[in-house]
Structure 1
Amino acid sequence: MPANSQRSQRPAKLLAGLLATGGILHFIAPKPYDSMIPKQLPGGARAWTYGSGVAEIAVATAVAVPRTRRLGGLAAALLFAAVFPGNVKMAVDAQRRGTPLPLRLVAFLRLPLQIPLVTWALKVRDRA
């Protein structure tokens, strides 16, 4: 594969790796993800944690495979948007509980991070 082609696939491969890692972490350490699940959702938090982990791994696979990358990039953007309420819940909970400042900052800094993640996913889609 030419060096230019490898470089052009790097953003997609990195995005797939990020998504796969996040998805796997839902199974290795589910408790932090459980606490992000809004109580208004039906069913148990653990089921949503595992389901979202499966979704992240599936989207990672779609992004990793060149043939499905365009759809995978769109799915990644939608996934990042879909988890935003969970990130808001995490930040609000951290504020309410008086979580130590460094952890509270991390919770709040995750919110604007969604914008570059969505943008990244859409660029991967557009370049597929």
Structure 2
Amino acid sequence: MPRTDRSSLLLAGLLAGAGALHLAAPKPFDATIPRALPGNPRTWTYASGAVELALAAGIALPLTRRPAARAAAAFFVGVFPANVQMAFDWRDRPAPLRTAALARLPLQVPLVMWARGVAARAGEARGEARGE
């Protein structure tokens, strides 16, 4: 399997797993929804899970891989406020939980870069980078 496909499918798997987890066990995710967002946190949790599943499907398919990977990069940037909210809310929790919450913050950078790389390689594979 070419590196492009392997990396794409791993990213799709990560998103599919996260999306399924948001839908199957939403309660922990509800607490990370920034309070400034309107509406019920559960709605945002379910919506983000659905978006993750849709992005996973788009990345898994070569025809839609490039736009879906670009959208995934934007999604990873967009959910960063939830990670900040979690780190803030968990500041008084035991050290291992506090550390886990803080570790999520810099994790967004490699996720964004990974998704951007998948998008770029998908474009190259389709000849879009060469103007074909």
Q: TM-score, normalised by structure 2?
A: 0.90
State the match for 2:13 in structure 1.
Answer: 17
State the match for 1:108 in structure 2.
Answer: 102
* Structure 2 Cα separation of the partners of residues 116 and 8 of structure 1: 17
Higher share of residues assigned helix: 1
The CA RMSD measured in Å over matched residues stands at: 0.8
* Structure 2 Cα separation of the partners of residues 30 and 67 of structure 1: 31
Q: Partner letter of residue 12 of structure 1? A: S
How many percent of aligned residue pairs carry the same amino acid? Answer: 54
**Residue segments in structure 1 that go unaligned for 5+ positions in a row:** none
Task: Return the match for 2:47 from 46, 51, 55.
Answer: 51
SS of the residue 1:26 aligns to:
helix
Which structure 1 residue ranges, 4+ long, deviate > 2 Å from structure 2? none
1:28, distance to aligned residue in structure 2 (A) = 1.1
Task: Return the match for 1:60 from 31, 49, 56.
Answer: 56
Q: TM-score, normalised by structure 1?
A: 0.93
1:53, distance to aligned residue in structure 2 (A) = 0.4
Aligned residues: 122
**Residue segments in structure 2 that go unaligned for 5+ positions in a row:** 123-132
